[in-house]
Amino acid sequence: MSSKLKGKVIFFATNNINKFNEARRVLSRYKIAVGMLRVKTLEIQSESLEEIAKNSAIHAFQQCHLPIIVEDAGLFVEALKGFPGPYASYVYKTIGNEGLLKLMKEATNRRARFQSMVVYFSEELESPICFKGEVLGEITETVREGCSGFGFDPVFKPLKSEKTFAEMDIDEKNLYSHRAKAFHKFARWYKSLKI
Ligand code: ITT
């Protein structure tokens, strides 16, 4: 592993400012500088977050030749046999939180999990490297908006909290979230690179 990786700014290729802000907050604790890059990411159709994110990272890197992070997240609801999974973005845009709650009207099992796959790629690496984070929780009975959050945050409550993600600020969400866990793993790896 080359020492060239250290001390550089890395770029998070995303169009989602909320994801970027959550990641930046974690990385700043490790003094890792990150910029947001709005390159057009390629999202292949796949059941695997890892495969989607790896392909996106390679595609993004080919466009900019900068040290790049891509993150792909999914929501897996037990009562819906893992739906929407990697299709969370499409499902959110089409039926939204109200639609998800409707699908779960009869469901007594409210268990769900968010997964995050953070993928890093740079010119020093032969292939992209992946870091996974997961949070277990449940889908609430009603939409519980708070003062922050995005996507399914108003209907997702981590197991160890009484609040939905939307009722938390970024720092509190980062104590539990799939994304924060994956970015902590990434940051520890990045900081461990030999000088
Ligand atoms: P980029 O691909 O541009 O990074 P995106 O919003 O499409 O942004 P993802 O594919 O990773 O991001 O996530 C898919 C969707 O899953 C996202 O649009 C949200 O609706 C939902 N989602 C992911 N992480 C979430 C979180 O922490 N809280 C609430 N919803 C989340």
Residue 140 CB–ligand 1 contact under 6 Å: no
Instruction: List the chain domain ranges.
Output: 3-192
What average pLDDT does range 117-125 have in this prediction?
95
Q: Atom 7, ligand 1: which residue's CA is nearest? A: 89
The fold of 3-192 is Maf protein (3.90.950)
Rounded Cα distance, 163 and 165, in Å: 6
Residue 72 CB–ligand 1 contact under 6 Å: yes
**Position 195 pLDDT exceeds 80:** no
> What confidence tens digit (pLDDT) does each residue in 129-181 have?
999 999 999 999 999 999 888 999 999 999 989 999 999 999 999 999 999 99
Rounded Cα distance, 158 and 161, in Å: 6
Rounded Cα distance, 38 and 35, in Å: 10
Between 194 and 86, the more confident residue is 86
Residue 151 CB–ligand 1 contact under 6 Å: yes
CA 36–ligand 1 middle distance (angstroms): 15
Rounded Cα distance, 84 and 94, in Å: 12
Residue 173 CB–ligand 1 contact under 6 Å: no
List residues with catalytic annotation.
72
- Residue 146 backbone dihedrals phi, psi, to 5 degrees: -130, -145
How sure is the predictor about 194, in pLDDT bands with cuts at 50, 70 and 90? low
Angle formed at CA 34 by CA 76 and CA 127, multiple of 5 degrees? 65
**Position 4 pLDDT exceeds 80:** no
CA 62–ligand 1 middle distance (angstroms): 23
Atom of ligand 1 nearest to the CA of 91: 20
CA 29–ligand 1 middle distance (angstroms): 23
> What confidence tens digit (pLDDT) does each residue in 49-77 have?
999 999 999 999 999 999 999 999 999 99
- The rounded mean pLDDT for the chain is 93
User: Which pTM does this prediction carry?
Assistant: 0.94
- Residue 44 has a pLDDT of 84
CA 30–ligand 1 middle distance (angstroms): 24
93-98 CB contacts, 8 Å cutoff, 24+ apart: 97/143, 97/152, 97/154, 97/155, 98/143
Residue 16 CB–ligand 1 contact under 6 Å: yes
Angle formed at CA 173 by CA 170 and CA 89, multiple of 5 degrees? 90
Q: Give the whole-number percent of the chain exceeding pLDDT 90.
A: 86
- Residue 153 has a pLDDT of 98
